[in-house]
Structure 1
Amino acid sequence: MTSRAEQLDPVVRARLVCPQDLGELIDAGDELYNPRLRVAYAIDELGIPNMLIADARKVGDDEHQLLAGESKEK
Protein backbone atom coordinates (compact mmCIF):
# COMPACT_ATOMS: atom_id res chain seq x y z
CA MET A 1 0.00 0.00 0.00
CA THR A 2 1.38 3.40 -0.93
CA SER A 3 1.35 6.36 1.41
CA ARG A 4 -0.66 9.51 0.82
CA ALA A 5 2.57 11.40 0.14
CA GLU A 6 3.52 8.90 -2.58
CA GLN A 7 0.07 9.25 -4.16
CA LEU A 8 0.36 13.00 -4.68
CA ASP A 9 0.48 14.10 -8.31
CA PRO A 10 4.20 14.42 -9.15
CA VAL A 11 3.71 17.88 -10.68
CA VAL A 12 1.91 19.12 -7.57
CA ARG A 13 4.39 17.41 -5.22
CA ALA A 14 7.36 19.04 -6.96
CA ARG A 15 5.89 22.48 -6.22
CA LEU A 16 4.96 21.94 -2.57
CA VAL A 17 7.26 23.69 -0.11
CA CYS A 18 6.99 24.55 3.55
CA PRO A 19 4.86 27.68 3.97
CA GLN A 20 7.07 28.83 6.85
CA ASP A 21 10.57 28.74 5.36
CA LEU A 22 9.76 27.91 1.70
CA GLY A 23 12.12 24.94 1.91
CA GLU A 24 11.90 21.37 0.68
CA LEU A 25 9.62 18.86 2.42
CA ILE A 26 10.25 15.16 2.99
CA ASP A 27 7.58 12.55 2.18
CA ALA A 28 6.65 11.03 5.54
CA GLY A 29 3.83 8.56 5.02
CA ASP A 30 0.57 10.49 5.31
CA GLU A 31 2.40 13.75 5.97
CA LEU A 32 4.96 16.10 4.47
CA TYR A 33 7.80 16.86 6.88
CA ASN A 34 10.08 19.87 7.30
CA PRO A 35 13.20 18.63 9.13
CA ARG A 36 14.60 22.15 9.59
CA LEU A 37 11.62 23.39 11.63
CA ARG A 38 10.53 19.93 12.83
CA VAL A 39 6.93 20.29 11.73
CA ALA A 40 4.69 17.92 9.75
CA TYR A 41 1.78 18.80 7.47
CA ALA A 42 -1.01 16.23 7.18
CA ILE A 43 -2.39 14.90 3.91
CA ASP A 44 -6.09 14.07 4.22
CA GLU A 45 -7.86 10.94 2.96
CA LEU A 46 -8.67 12.71 -0.33
CA GLY A 47 -4.96 13.36 -0.91
CA ILE A 48 -5.12 17.07 -0.13
CA PRO A 49 -2.15 18.42 1.87
CA ASN A 50 -3.04 20.78 4.72
CA MET A 51 -0.32 23.38 4.41
CA LEU A 52 -1.70 25.77 7.04
CA ILE A 53 1.01 26.84 9.49
CA ALA A 54 -1.47 26.83 12.38
CA ASP A 55 -2.32 23.16 11.69
CA ALA A 56 1.28 21.91 11.42
CA ARG A 57 2.20 19.21 13.93
CA LYS A 58 5.33 19.64 16.06
CA VAL A 59 7.72 16.69 15.87
CA GLY A 60 9.85 15.55 18.82
CA ASP A 61 13.50 14.49 18.78
CA ASP A 62 12.98 10.72 18.41
CA GLU A 63 10.45 11.05 15.59
CA HIS A 64 12.62 13.67 13.88
CA GLN A 65 15.58 11.28 13.82
CA LEU A 66 13.36 8.58 12.32
CA LEU A 67 11.82 10.86 9.67
CA ALA A 68 15.04 12.63 8.77
CA GLY A 69 17.03 9.39 8.65
CA GLU A 70 19.52 10.58 11.24
CA SER A 71 21.41 8.15 13.43
CA LYS A 72 21.13 8.36 17.19
CA GLU A 73 24.52 9.45 18.44
CA LYS A 74 25.17 10.57 21.99
Structure 2
Amino acid sequence: MKSDDPLLKILACPIDKGPLTLLASEDALYNPRLKRRYPIVDGIPQLLPTSGEPDSE
Protein backbone atom coordinates (compact mmCIF):
# COMPACT_ATOMS: atom_id res chain seq x y z
CA MET A 1 0.00 0.00 0.00
CA LYS A 2 1.30 3.46 -0.89
CA SER A 3 0.75 6.74 0.94
CA ASP A 4 -1.28 8.15 -1.98
CA ASP A 5 -3.61 5.14 -2.19
CA PRO A 6 -7.26 6.37 -2.27
CA LEU A 7 -8.21 3.46 -0.02
CA LEU A 8 -6.49 5.22 2.91
CA LYS A 9 -9.17 7.92 2.84
CA ILE A 10 -11.97 5.45 3.60
CA LEU A 11 -10.23 3.00 5.95
CA ALA A 12 -11.06 3.48 9.63
CA CYS A 13 -10.07 1.95 12.92
CA PRO A 14 -12.46 -0.88 13.84
CA ILE A 15 -12.57 0.29 17.46
CA ASP A 16 -13.03 4.08 17.40
CA LYS A 17 -13.93 4.48 13.70
CA GLY A 18 -11.32 7.24 13.29
CA PRO A 19 -8.78 7.66 10.48
CA LEU A 20 -5.60 5.62 10.26
CA THR A 21 -2.07 6.60 9.25
CA LEU A 22 0.10 4.47 6.99
CA LEU A 23 3.41 3.32 8.47
CA ALA A 24 5.09 2.36 5.20
CA SER A 25 8.35 1.33 6.89
CA GLU A 26 6.49 -1.26 8.98
CA ASP A 27 3.78 -2.13 6.42
CA ALA A 28 1.04 -1.30 8.92
CA LEU A 29 -1.76 1.15 9.62
CA TYR A 30 -1.58 3.15 12.84
CA ASN A 31 -4.20 4.72 15.08
CA PRO A 32 -2.42 7.49 17.06
CA ARG A 33 -5.41 8.05 19.36
CA LEU A 34 -5.42 4.47 20.69
CA LYS A 35 -1.73 3.82 19.90
CA ARG A 36 -2.56 0.62 17.99
CA ARG A 37 -1.05 -0.84 14.83
CA TYR A 38 -2.91 -2.95 12.29
CA PRO A 39 -0.71 -5.08 10.02
CA ILE A 40 -0.97 -5.16 6.24
CA VAL A 41 -0.51 -8.74 5.02
CA ASP A 42 0.00 -9.33 1.30
CA GLY A 43 -1.42 -5.86 0.61
CA ILE A 44 -4.59 -6.46 2.67
CA PRO A 45 -5.12 -4.40 5.85
CA GLN A 46 -6.04 -6.60 8.81
CA LEU A 47 -8.67 -4.41 10.47
CA LEU A 48 -10.24 -6.73 12.99
CA PRO A 49 -10.28 -5.39 16.57
CA THR A 50 -8.29 -8.44 17.65
CA SER A 51 -5.60 -7.94 14.99
CA GLY A 52 -4.53 -4.56 16.40
CA GLU A 53 -1.30 -4.56 18.36
CA PRO A 54 -0.58 -2.00 21.09
CA ASP A 55 2.27 0.40 20.36
CA SER A 56 5.26 -0.39 22.53
CA GLU A 57 6.18 3.28 23.12
TM-score category (smaller protein):
0.7 to 0.9
Question: Counterparts of 1:50 and 1:14 in 2: how far apart (Å)?
Answer: 16
More helix by share: 1
Q: Give the CA deviation at 1:38.
A: 0.7
Q: TM-score, normalised by structure 1?
A: 0.65
**Identity among equivalent pairs (%):** 36
Per-residue CA deviation, residues 25-56 of structure 1 (Å, 9 max, x unaligned), is 111120000011010001112x1100001011
Runs of 4+ in structure 1 over 3 Å off: none
More strand by share: 2
| Count of residue pairs the alignment pairs up | 55
Q: Give the CA deviation at 1:23.
A: 0.8
Partner of 1:58: 54
Q: TM-score, normalised by structure 2?
A: 0.82
List alignment gaps of at least 5 residues for structure 1.
62-74
